[in-house]
Amino acid sequence: MRSTDLGFRIGIGVFAAALLLIVVAIGITLAKDSWLSLQRFGFDFWRTSDWDPVAGEFGALPFIWGTLYSSVLALAIATPVALGIAVFISELCPPMLRAPLIFLTELLAAIPSIVYGLWGIFVLVPAVRAVETGLPEGLRALPLFSGPPFGVGMLAAALILAVMVVPFTSAVAREVLKTVPMTQREAAYALGATRFEAIRAAMFYARTGILGAVMLGFGRALGETMAVTMVIGNNPQVSLSLFAPQYTMAAVIANEFTEAANALYLSALIEIGLVLFIITLLVNVMSRGLIWSMARKLPSKVAA
């Protein structure tokens, strides 16, 4: 018995270590292959906006900005919808509707991103353009809506990302809500709570898990490549405007990697990969920290 236990522990340990090793190996490979660009541009790579393959000048700021801005916007749009879906399915939905609804939201996650991209080009972008051209002049003066209405741009990218993020966030949030003990809801009802208040109590109870679901969606949005590059307009600029064509890190790698025929250019693109890797890592660490600090403050340990 003891030897199988030991074998089991070692086996599991190897798998866990392999995962860690892979992450470290990716980091090292990225750093090694981007060495030329790291040496040449140093920290300026993070804060300059010039991306000029012909002159050999590379700065990642517009791509970092575009990635974070599009992901945050997508999250702002997707989170209420995803949580709404999760709450409806787990708390309010008639039982006969539950299975089809779960199936449909999960179907959204199974659609390849190139299909989202094509849908974006042919359906979403014209619709966005119509909205943009229809916007009253007064609003167009705001920095958020400045610039010509191309249709492609930040707004289209954020919307398509939001659609892609919803199934992930809602699936995890639904599972989290399922783990809230019935006693929590019953206690709320016993105190005379309305249905809304009882659901709010359940969500409060599950808030760390829900935050985890949201962060999972954020990670998904940061790395999404194909659908975004097809609708974002691919113009490296730092702009607050939702109408402006912008660019993301994953998109520029996908677009330019195959034709990057000199060493510095290639190494700058790999450094973009490194930056994306670091940012994803930071986001994950931060969300872990947030979840951890919330979990510590959780008043009741009974259910755990």
Partner 1 sequence: MLLTACGGGNTQPVTANNSASNPAQGLTINGAGATFPYPIYSKWFSEYNKLHPDVRINYQSIGSGGGIQQIINQTVFFGATDGPMNDEQLKSASGPILHFPTVLGAVVPVYNIPGVTEELKFTGAVLADIYLGKIKKWNDPAVAKLNPGTELPATDITVVHRSDGSGTTYIFVDYLSKVSPQFKSEAGVGTSVKWPAGVGGKGNEGVSGLVTQTPGSIGYVELIYALQNKIPYGAVQNAAGEFVKASVDSVTKAAAAAATTMPPDFRVSITNAQGPGAYPISSFTWLLMYADPKDKASARAMVDFVKWALTDGQKYAADLGYAPLPANVVMLEQAALEQIKAS
Binding residues for partner 1, per CB under 8 A? 29, 33, 50-55, 121-122, 125-126, 129, 148, 150-153, 229-230, 233-235, 245, 251, 253-262, 270, 273
Strand partners of residue 246 = 233
Q: Give the CA distances from residue 98 to residues 102, 176, 196, 282, 287, in Å, rounded to whole numbers and listed in that order.
A: 6, 16, 20, 36, 30
Query: Of the candidates 194, 193, 202, which has an alpha carbon nearest to the alpha carbon of residue 173?
Result: 202
DSSP 302: S
**CB nearer partner 1, residue 64 or residue 228:** 228
Is residue 270 a contact partner of residue 244, using CB atoms and an 8 Å limit? no
| SS3 label, residue 178 | helix
**Shortest CB 188 distance to partner 1, Å:** 50
Instruction: Using DSSP, state whether 45 is helix, strand or coil.
Output: helix
Q: Judged by CB, which is closer to partner 1: 205, or 224?
A: 224
β 51-52/57-58 pair status? antiparallel
- 31 or 260: whose CB is closer to partner 1? 260
Looking at the Cβ atoms of 209 and 236, the one nearer to partner 1 is 236
Q: State which residue, 218 or 265, has the beta carbon closest to partner 1.
A: 265
State the nearest-atom distance from the C-beta of 134 to partner 1, in Å.
14
Q: Which amino acid is at 154?
A: M
Residue 22 Cβ vs partner 1, minimum distance, rounded to whole Å: 14
Decide: 67 and 236 in contact? Cβ < 8 Å: no
**214 touches 27 (CB < 8 A):** no
Quote the least distance from Cβ 77 to partner 1, whole Å: 22
Distance of closest approach, residue 142 Cβ to partner 1, in angstroms: 19
- Closer residue to partner 1 (CB): 209 or 245: 245
To partner 1, the closest distance from the beta carbon of 135 in angstroms equals 15
Q: Which helix (H) or strand (E) holds 2?
A: helix 2-33
Instruction: Pick the closer one to partner 1 by CB: 15 or 122.
Output: 122
Least distance in Å: CB of 248 to partner 1?
Answer: 11
β-partners of residue 52 are 57
Q: How would you write 72-93 as a 3-class SS string?
A: HHHHHHHHHHHHHHHHHHHHHC
